[in-house]
Amino acid sequence: MQIKNAVIPAAGFGTRMLPATKSQPKEMLPIVDKPTIQYVIEEAVASGIEDIILIVGRDKRAIEDHFDYSFELEYTLEKTGKLDLLKEVRQISDMVRIHYVRQKEPLGLGHAIYCAKMHVGNAPFAVLLPDDLIISDKPAIRQMIDVYDESKGAVLAVKRVAEQQVSSYGILDAEEIDKQLFMVRDMVEKPSPAEAPSNLAVMGRYILSPEIFSILENLPPGKNNEIQLTDAIRVLNKTRQVYGYAYEGQRYDVGNKEGFLRATVELALKRPELQESFRRYIKDLAVKL
Ligand code: UTP
């Protein structure tokens, strides 16, 4: 079955980016000139996704408006002859179908995914966490859909991390099939370096099968009293093989300040219109440090 649906959970409070996130979703904070959520939706669209189920909380307005037509703006851009900008703005609204589902209370990532049940139905689907920006030639979620098409198992994006970082991630206990593919035996959420079964950390991209919904429905709250997606995937692994896939690409954790700044600097350096002057600025700055 082809993967056409992607779930993007965006109902968290974003406390690590306060006060910027007090009255706007963190997914609308821009990297250079584009909201982070747009990068992630573009990745999904470039991977063949046709329907996005966006799980939102209280402050969804700005996201909805961003992906909707903006009649007054488009009219003004047309009248003033700013046709390139007009085209860019229109493309954002025409890109893909987005369905908004409200998570009334932030009961955890697992619960946020469960909120998509009615829209996803009985088909495998992709999950993209908008905190993780992954820049790659072939979109990361496309790489994972290809692994799913071959294996028919669930697929988790993984990346090797330094020993002192394992306590920030879900870590795999897994058997290596090849350099990029791993068969999951089990997972541990945020272990200490001594407890970690490997340094393979789960990143914010998943391909899941619809059985995950019935598992989530009956799952008790786990760590931090939240319904944890990791707990549900451990149960899923008993009946359907779960794989870890070491995707190709550069990942930025834009849900925290340092990751956000790194993404801003590195993506600005890739922009043709900023490349020359911004590179010069960074070089001069580096000399002063
Ligand atoms: P995080 O753990 O990063 O939480 O959620 P957060 O609230 O967004 O950020 P901080 O830690 O307070 O700064 C991981 C992803 O899961 C979503 C978040 O929006 C984020 O994309 N999420 C989390 C939900 O949609 N609902 C929840 O109940 C929890």
**In this predicted model, what pLDDT tens digit does every residue of 35-50 receive, in sequence order?**
999 999 999 999 999 9
Q: How many angstroms does the Cα of residue 11 sit away from the middle of ligand 1? A: 6
Tell me how far the alpha carbon of residue 194 is from its chain's centroid.
28
What pLDDT is recorded for position 145?
97
Tokens encoding 140: 């990361």
5-10/132-135 β-pairing:
unpaired
Do 169 and 269 share a domain, yes or no?
A: no
The predicted pLDDT at position 246 comes to: 98
Instruction: Enumerate residues lining ligand 1, CB below 6 A.
Output: 9-16, 55, 103, 106-109, 111-112, 129-131, 255
pLDDT (0 to 100) of residue 68: 87
Q: Are residues 122 and 46 in the same domain?
A: yes
Asked whether the whole model's pTM tops 0.75, one would answer yes
- Tens digit of pLDDT for each residue in 66-116? 998 888 999 999 999 999 999 988 889 888 899 999 999 999 999 999 999
> How far, in Å, is the centroid of ligand 1 from the Cα of 41?
17
Question: 206 and 289, same structural domain?
Answer: no
Measured CA to CA, the distance from residue 205 to residue 156 in angstroms comes to 6
Which one of 41, 131, 205 would you pick to mutate in the ligand 1 pocket, going by the greatest count of ligand atoms within 8 A of its CB? 131
Residues 241 and 268 in one domain: no
**Residue of 21, 53, 109 to mutate, ligand 1, most atoms within 8 A of C-beta:** 109
pLDDT at 288 (0 to 100) = 85
Question: In the chain, which stretches have pLDDT less than 50?
Answer: none
Q: Are residues 161 and 19 in the same domain?
A: yes
80 token code pair = 């003033």
| Residue whose CA is at the smallest distance from ligand 1 atom 10 | 14
Q: To which residue do tokens 């996704």 refer? A: 49
The residue whose C-alpha atom lies closest to atom 7 belonging to ligand 1 is 12
pLDDT for residue 275 = 86
State the amino acid at position 226 in one-letter form: E
| Rounded Cα–Cα distance for residues 158 and 174 (Å) | 11
Residue 272, token pair as written in the block: 């043709």
Ligand 1 center from residue 13 Cα (angstroms): 6
Would strands 154-160 and 200-208 be described as parallel, antiparallel, or unpaired? antiparallel
CA of 35 to the centre of ligand 1 (A): 17
In total, how many domains does the chain have?
Answer: 2
Å from CA of 2 to ligand 1 middle: 28
Whether 164 and 286 share a structural domain: no
- Residue 116: strand, helix, or coil: coil
Q: Which domain holds residue 33?
A: 5-253
Co-location of 224 and 288 in the same domain: no
> In this structure, are 215 and 288 located in the same domain?
no
Helix axes 83-94, 71-79, angle to 10 degrees: 160
CATH value at residue 193? 3.90.550.10
Q: Are residue 275 and residue 144 in the same domain, yes or no?
A: no
Residues 286 and 275 in one domain: yes
Q: Supply angle C-alpha 44, 241, 188, rounded to 5.
A: 85
Instruction: Output the pLDDT for position 270.
Output: 94
- CA 92 remoteness from chain centre: 18
Residues 140 and 119 in one domain: yes
**Within this chain, do residues 137 and 24 fall inside the same structural domain, yes or no?**
yes
